[in-house]
């Protein structure tokens, strides 16, 4: 049974820590009203909540706090404070934004932007549960966006103009957010470190084993190439549809990481192009000297594969087919549910100029099974109507043009014809008058 609300408030007031997640919600924490615990790790927990202000101001936010049992540990408080100080400097489209940092009692907190969507782990699990793989074009698009955020961190320049590379140290699917508008954000810089040179010495085993680099396991000197290995692991798993190093226990995961042979993705997925094979395998080299030296270098070669990547509209279409409950919305005009950013076929609420391709055809091109596409098109949760054919649109345009041309010709010819008729009529009257006068004489 959850403790009464009075004991929760006393907990926050006396210890400065949030009560356990099993307590009654919402919880009032400083200026925030926390409504749901949406994540919990070994050091911190993440809450969904609202920030309230004067004159009815209200904003949906995410609040990150240290676990209650660690509030009194100065070392973890210092790590949390370092994360806040570092994250506040990162301003990039592919990195989650930090809005505020402070203390409520002795409890430090971070206010982060609120993102609606799935993390990459949730998307991958939904797809693999269907017995499918992510389409190669979708995998390229997602990994390129992650790499772009990492490249910014790897080439970070501080306010003094000094080059200060940031090493994330925990690149994994759980730390990548895919928002319902198709944007991709790199999360959780809790283990990241701002270096004063090119390397960072670590004396603590931190991160997810299945995505660590071999040198990270040795707790020695790390540099940006450790993040490249983690990103290569993510890329390989997205292309193949199964875990690369992860196993049932840490010992087996460690053995695979250090000893197991890594198969090229194309050997397990024939849709993978040879160029992507080369990129993946180089990122996964166990010798750091043989890898890409930073995410910036890896991004340059990924950008060369832009022709194989999915467009923003195709990414939205695919996300809507996999998770319509998250990645679709109701049309304001007719109420039908459609993927975010996709035009409503019945009322044209959102206009685009993407040609005549139908959404179902685009989804089939992305590799979704035919039965899935048919189900998507006929599902009451996500109804898609066909777009008028190009031939019909052209015929309407030609007919409209002819009507406009006829109207212009009539406007030009009518005054001339009218003047001519009046002139002829005037001559006739003069002739009649002359004839009458002549007969009288």
Residues assigned a catalytic role: 170
The C-alpha atoms of residue 149 and residue 96 are separated, in whole angstroms, by 10
Encoded tokens for 160: 């003094």
Query: Bridge-partner residues for 60, per DSSP?
Result: 50
Encoded tokens for 43: 């050091």
The C-alpha atoms of residue 331 and residue 320 are separated, in whole angstroms, by 14
200-201 vs 221-222, strand pairing mode? antiparallel
> Of 234, 217, 112, 130, which is closest to residue 173 (Cα–Cα)?
234
The C-alpha atoms of residue 76 and residue 276 are separated, in whole angstroms, by 40
Q: In b/e form, how buried is each residue of 331-366, taking b as 16+ CB within 10 angstroms? A: beeeebbbbbbbbbbeeeeeeeeeeeeebbebbbbb
- Asked if the peptide bond before residue 26 counts as cis, ω within 30 degrees of 0, the response is yes
Q: Please enumerate in sequence order all residues whose Cβ is within 8 A of that of 146, keeping only pairs 6 or more positions apart, or say none.
A: 94, 171, 176, 184, 186, 231, 234
Q: What is the largest CA-CA distance in the chain?
A: 136
3-state SS class at 409 = helix
The C-alpha atoms of residue 176 and residue 193 are separated, in whole angstroms, by 18
């Amino acid at each position: 049974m959850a403790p009464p609300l009075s004991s929760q408030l006393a907990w926050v007031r006396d210890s400065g820590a949030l009560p356990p997640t099993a307590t009654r919600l919402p919880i009032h924490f400083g200026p925030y009203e926390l409504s749901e615990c949406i994540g919990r790790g070994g050091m911190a927990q993440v809450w969904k909540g609202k920030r309230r202000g004067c004159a009815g101001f209200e904003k949906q936010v995410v609040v990150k706090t240290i676990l209650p049992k660690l509030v009194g540990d100065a070392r973890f408080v210092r790590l949390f404070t370092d994360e806040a100080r570092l994250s506040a400097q990162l301003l990039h489209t592919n990195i989650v934004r930090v809005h505020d940092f402070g203390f409520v009692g002795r409890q430090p907190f971070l206010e982060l932007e609120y993102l609606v969507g799935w993390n990459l782990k949730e998307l991958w699990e939904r797809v693999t549960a269907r017995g499918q793989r992510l389409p190669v074009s979708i995998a390229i698009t997602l990994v390129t966006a992650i790499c772009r955020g990492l490249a910014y961190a790897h080439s970070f320049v501080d306010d003094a103009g000094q080059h200060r590379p940031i090493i994330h140290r925990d690149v994994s699917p759980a730390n990548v957010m895919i928002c319902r508008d198709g944007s991709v954000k790199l999360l959780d810089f809790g283990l990241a470190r701002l270096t004063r040179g090119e390397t960072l010495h670590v004396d603590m085993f931190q991160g997810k084993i299945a995505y660590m680099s071999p040198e990270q396991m040795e707790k020695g000197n790390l540099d940006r190439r450790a993040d490249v290995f983690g990103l290569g692991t993510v890329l390989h798993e997205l292309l193949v549809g199964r875990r690369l190093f992860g196993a049932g226990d840490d010992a087996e995961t460690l053995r695979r990481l250090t000893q197991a042979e890594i198969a090229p993705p194309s050997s397990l997925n024939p849709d993978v192009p040879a160029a992507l094979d080369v990129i993946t395998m180089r990122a996964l080299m166990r010798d750091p000297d043989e890898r890409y030296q930073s995410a910036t270098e890896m991004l340059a070669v990924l950008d060369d594969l832009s022709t194989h990547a999915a467009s923003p509209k195709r990414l939205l279409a695919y996300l809507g087919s996999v998770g319509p409950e998250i990645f679709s919305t109701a049309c304001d005009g007719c109420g039908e549910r459609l993927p975010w950013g996709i035009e409503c076929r019945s009322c044209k609420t959102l206009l685009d100029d993407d040609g005549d391709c139908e959404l179902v055809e685009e989804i089939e091109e992305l590799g979704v099974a035919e039965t899935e596409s048919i189900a998507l098109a006929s599902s009451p949760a996500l109804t898609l109507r066909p777009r008028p054919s190009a031939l019909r649109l052209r015929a309407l345009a030609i007919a409209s043009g002819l009507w406009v041309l006829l109207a212009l010709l009539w406007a030009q010819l009518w005054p001339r014809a009218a003047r001519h008729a009046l002139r002829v009529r005037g001559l006739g009257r003069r002739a009649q008058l002359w004839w009458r006068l002549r007969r009288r004489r």
